[in-house]
Amino acid sequence: MRAAFSILCLYSLPFATILADDPLITVSKETTFVIEPVNEDGFVDLVTAINAEMSKGITTETNAAALIYPALGPTPNGKQMSKRFFEELGVPFPAEDGNYFQMLPSYLKENGFSDLLDDWDRMLDNQGMAMERPWKRDEFPDIAAWIDTQEKPLQQILKGIERKQYYCPLNSDVEKGSTGQMLIATLLPHIQINRSVTRVLTCRAMLRVGEGRVDEGWSDLMASYRFGRHASHDPFLIGRLVGIAMEAITNNTMLKFIESTQPSEKTCIQYLKDLDSLPARSPIVNSIDFGERLLFVDVVAMLAYRNQEDVFDIQDVIPDLNDLFKRNSKINADWDKILTDANQLYDRIVTGFKQDSYSKQRAAFEEIDNDLTNLLKPRTTLSNAIMLAALKVKNKSSTTQFISEMLIPQMIFEPHHSAKAEVRSQQRYSNLQIAIALAAFHAKHNEYPASLDQLTSKYLGTLPEDHFVDQPLKYLKTDDGYLLYSVGDNQTDNGGKSYDEQKDDLVVRVPSKMSD
């Protein structure tokens, strides 16, 4: 179990209970791992342990985040960053007043923009259009002004993005060796603002194309893509999914960029080399096998060792457990079994991700998803009455079952969705590579090839397949361009119809009547 992280820390357990004759949670491979550091109250310092694992081999001088996040200031998106966050990065805490990166809504509010909903919708529409086609400053003056005001922080962010390593510490106020906070309560404003950095870079790229500065536009797009790859190196699932979203935004703009600039064959070949130089994406399974396990055990340990004086409110985590914990100062449950059941499920998920094809992954996850769905089924009046009666008499077995059935399906997300997001990201990247190779072929021959096989000899060493079905991608040369697509998650050929048409093919269409 957890082979990828065999030497890790983990989990908030009072050290005294480890030595007790009858601890609430038994330290074992089936429940948790406990290693140092131990804090002043006898708990494992979980925040320090996670930061130590994620920062291995990375220094302030090599860390992209050490330049990126100071440029967001002390309160990105209006949320306070901790002093420890910047201490872990090895940089000074940013001054309250400074020229920091701003999301578009914050910039507009500070500059007296209208509060009318129609005006906001129009501005967001303008931002979307500015990411998808070349434009001039007089078309979207407010977007252009926003971009201009981000110049100084963007310069620092871009310097950071060029670094090869990336470590973003947890945004925790807890000092090393002190009582830990719940991981699930840790704020992540810096992660959410990353998407806005991607949006300003893609908007600026297309503005630069409109101004005839094509090379600078491509440079912005490469930086945006690289930032998405960096962001995937996160201990938790949400960070990796944000990284995937950043890549998706950039990928779509790159397709529009290639179509609108019609680069030469030589330039296309260089673009393909640039893409090959991107840092590797960290697999989603790493966060599930590490951070997501940590979140679950952290919550269980908090429930097991809570006292009446604790301010922790279970309502913030699992609402259905709130009444149980309000009525009982101490819960008589088999916490080992709850952890063992959860870890066995995590093991199944990890095994599913390691299957050698998406079809096999999907089959494994459908079985897991069904098990999670069954746990969430509403109880009947009779079964609920029996359970409540058992809880009143503090029946250990029934209480354990009740907590496990409530906690596991709400803390462990359906893995199929994460797997689908990851494979979609891989497929978008492969589609982009082929689209650039097709542009190179067209630049040389003034037409598109009859078959994708004609691209392999000069532009692509190996022709990427459809990652969803491990078969050749669908390609059709048309009178004025081409249609290229993957059949997507449903593994059904929908004729090149994407989400825009209530289907899920991943489509590149030139001319771009629509693309996914």
pLDDT digit of tens for each residue in the chain (516 aa)? 443 333 333 333 443 333 334 557 776 677 776 456 766 655 567 788 888 889 999 999 999 999 999 999 999 888 889 999 999 999 999 999 999 999 998 898 888 888 788 888 899 999 999 999 999 999 999 999 999 999 999 999 999 999 999 999 998 887 776 655 677 777 787 788 999 999 999 999 999 999 999 999 999 999 999 999 999 999 999 999 999 999 999 999 999 999 999 999 999 999 999 999 999 999 999 999 988 888 888 888 777 776 444 434 555 556 556 666 665 556 788 988 999 999 999 999 999 999 999 999 999 999 999 888 888 776 666 666 666 666 666 778 888 888 888 888 888 888 999 999 999 999 999 999 999 999 999 999 999 999 999 999 899 989 999 999 999 999 999 999 999 999 999 999 998 888 777 788 999 999 987 445
Instruction: Please indicate, yes or no, whether residues 78 and 202 belong to a single structural domain of this protein.
Output: yes
Identify the pLDDT of residue 4. 37
Q: What share of the chain is helix, strand, coil (3-state, %, to 5)?
A: 55, 5, 40
- Domain membership flag for residue 34: no
Instruction: Please indicate, yes or no, whether residues 266 and 152 belong to a single structural domain of this protein.
Output: yes
Identify the pLDDT of residue 328. 58
- Domain membership flag for residue 215: yes
Instruction: Please indicate, yes or no, whether residues 243 and 215 belong to a single structural domain of this protein.
Output: yes
Instruction: Please indicate, yes or no, whether residues 206 and 347 belong to a single structural domain of this protein.
Output: no
Instruction: Please indicate, yes or no, whether residues 409 and 424 belong to a single structural domain of this protein.
Output: no
- Domain membership flag for residue 256: yes
pTM of this structure: 0.89
Task: Give DSSP secondary structure letters for 404-428.
Answer: HHHHHHHHS--HHHHHHHHHHHHHH
**Beta-carbon contacts of residue 492 (< 8 Å; ≥ 6 apart):** none
Instruction: Please indicate, yes or no, whether residues 343 and 269 belong to a single structural domain of this protein.
Output: no
- What does DSSP assign to residue 303? H
Residues in the chain: 516
Chain centroid to CA 169: how far? 15
Strand partners, 509: 483
Instruction: Please indicate, yes or no, whether residues 401 and 515 belong to a single structural domain of this protein.
Output: no
The CATH number of the domain where 448 resides is what? 3.30.700
Instruction: Please indicate, yes or no, whether residues 132 and 240 belong to a single structural domain of this protein.
Output: yes
Identify the pLDDT of residue 18. 38
Identify the pLDDT of residue 87. 94
Order of strands across the sheet that contains 482-486: 474-477, 482-486, 506-510
Q: Judge residue 308's burial from the number of C-beta atoms within 10 Å of its C-beta, 0-12 exposed, 13-18 middle, 19 or more buried.
A: exposed
- Domain membership flag for residue 55: no
> Domain containing 226: what range?
62-168+182-282
- Domain membership flag for residue 52: no
**Angle, nearest 10°, between helix axes 335-353 and 415-445?**
20
- Other residues' Cβ atoms within 10 Å of the Cβ of residue 315: 13
Strand partners, 16: none
Instruction: Please indicate, yes or no, whether residues 224 and 100 belong to a single structural domain of this protein.
Output: yes
- Other residues' Cβ atoms within 10 Å of the Cβ of residue 217: 25
Instruction: Please indicate, yes or no, whether residues 209 and 108 belong to a single structural domain of this protein.
Output: yes
The owner of tokens 């090393």 is 176
Which of 249, 282, 315 marks a domain boundary? 282
- What does DSSP assign to residue 466? B
Instruction: Please indicate, yes or no, whether residues 263 and 309 belong to a single structural domain of this protein.
Output: no
Identify the pLDDT of residue 344. 92
**Alpha-carbon span 80 to 67, nearest angstrom:** 18
SS3 call for 500: helix
The kind and range of the H/E element at 445 are: helix 415-445
- Domain membership flag for residue 312: yes
- Domain membership flag for residue 358: yes
Identify the pLDDT of residue 41. 58
Strand 506-510 to 474-477 pairing: unpaired
Helices then strands, each counted (H, E), the chain: 20, 3
- How many structural domains compose the chain? 3
The owner of tokens 């916490």 is 335
Which of 413, 447, 479 marks a domain boundary? 413
Instruction: Please indicate, yes or no, whether residues 317 and 449 belong to a single structural domain of this protein.
Output: no
Identify the pLDDT of residue 333. 86
- Domain membership flag for residue 30: no
Which of 383, 413, 443 marks a domain boundary? 413
